[in-house]
Each structure stands twice: as C-alpha cells, then as structure tokens.
Amino acid sequence: MYEIVIGRSPAETEKHGLTGTFLLGKHYVTMGQTESLSNEVRMDVAKSHVVSVFGKRGSGKSYTMGDIAEGMMSLPSEITRNLSVIMLDTMGIYWTMKFPNNRDQELLAEWNMKPEGMNVVIYTPKGFYKSYREKGIPTDHPFSIKPNDLDASDWTSIFRVESTHPVGVLIQKVIGILKAKSPDFSLQDVVMAIQAEPNASKDAKDAAGCSG
C-alpha cells in the first residue's frame, strides 16, 4: 500500500513525504466482483495548482469541493497560516460546514474521523443578509459591491450586451462620465445618468431597465 498524492511528483513525495498534503479519499479498486478501498488519495497544498472538478448533476462535485476545503483547513497551523480558502457559493450550501456532520458519524468512524465544525466565516449579499439570519442560517457578515468598483466592460457583461450594441455604447458612455466626475457613485446615479443622456434612444434606455 502506498499513498497517491495529487499535484506532487514521485520525487517530491520521496523528498518531502506527506507533509503539506491532506487526505482527499481512497482509491476504489475492483477485482472481479469485489470492490474495495485501498490506497489513500492525498492532495498537495505546498504549491499552487489549478484543479477542475467535473461530473453530472448530483454526482458529488459540491461535496468534493467541501471536502477539499475542509482538508485544507484541517492541516497543522504551521501550514494553514500560509493558506486561504475562498469559496463563491451560489447555491447556499457551504454554511453547513460550521456544524459537525453528525448524520455521517458512523461513516466517519470507519475512517477514524470525528464530526467537527469548521471555523468558516460566511459573507452573504446585503440584500439577503437579514432574511438569512431570520431563517437561522448562520451568516456572519453582509457584503455588497460598490457600483464604481466595476468598469464599463463589467457593466456590459452584467447586462450581457456587446460593447458595440446601442445599449452597450450607452452603458459605457454613462459609466465613463460618472467615473470622470466622481470616485464614488451609486446605482441611482447610474439610473439618473442613463435617463438624462440626450443622445440615447428610448429603446436603449428601456433595454437597460432605466426608463422613466
């Protein structure tokens, strides 16, 4: 039996051992009609990597991502102090990492592991923060993005319009004017500037969602 280390060459494994790696799972081996778990599969965090997780819906992609995050956070402090895990959770599921996974307590025991919560900090969009707290979802802080933090190409990307389209031209022009006038502006400022633009057609303004 030997460990399989993803992201680390055999020479690096021989030199450093398993320091700077975490347990990701075990290798599934099929021999005839018998299936069993064999070699540990570990992941290297000593250097940067690009990792892609593929699979059909319901196959465990999100679970695997959570496993990777928890594995990194469970490493010794001399390693974790040099690591940072940031997850953009559009499905609203990773807040459960705050709590021990008691539901799978027996399964964890088979791996000589105990259920334990992770010291994660949850940021929720400002518009949902209050309702999440009321529902008992343990979010820690609200967050929002200032309109002036986005450039013209970000805005056209949000509206899913080409920069050469009349709506795209209008948005880029307005954002350029606002950025030149002030280092800070609000969504209302953007709306008012679009409404006040004399050279834009009503159709372009309507398409931008800013009709009077």
Q: State pTM to two decimals.
A: 0.69
Distance, in Å, from the CA atom of 160 to the CA atom of 6, rounded to the nearest integer, reads 38
Tokens 């599969």 belong to 41
Domain ranges of the chain: 1-75, 86-144, 147-207
Which pLDDT belongs to residue 211? 45
Task: Determine the length of the chain.
Answer: 212
Which pLDDT belongs to residue 212? 40
Q: Which residues contact 92 (CB under 8 A, 6 or more apart)?
A: 137
What is the mean pLDDT for each group of 10 consecutive residues in the chain (212 residues)? 86 89 85 77 90 90 89 89 87 90 89 88 93 93 90 87 89 90 87 88 79 42
Could you list the beta-strand ranges (E) of 19-133.
21-31, 34-44, 123-125
Which pLDDT belongs to residue 209? 66
Which pLDDT belongs to residue 54? 92
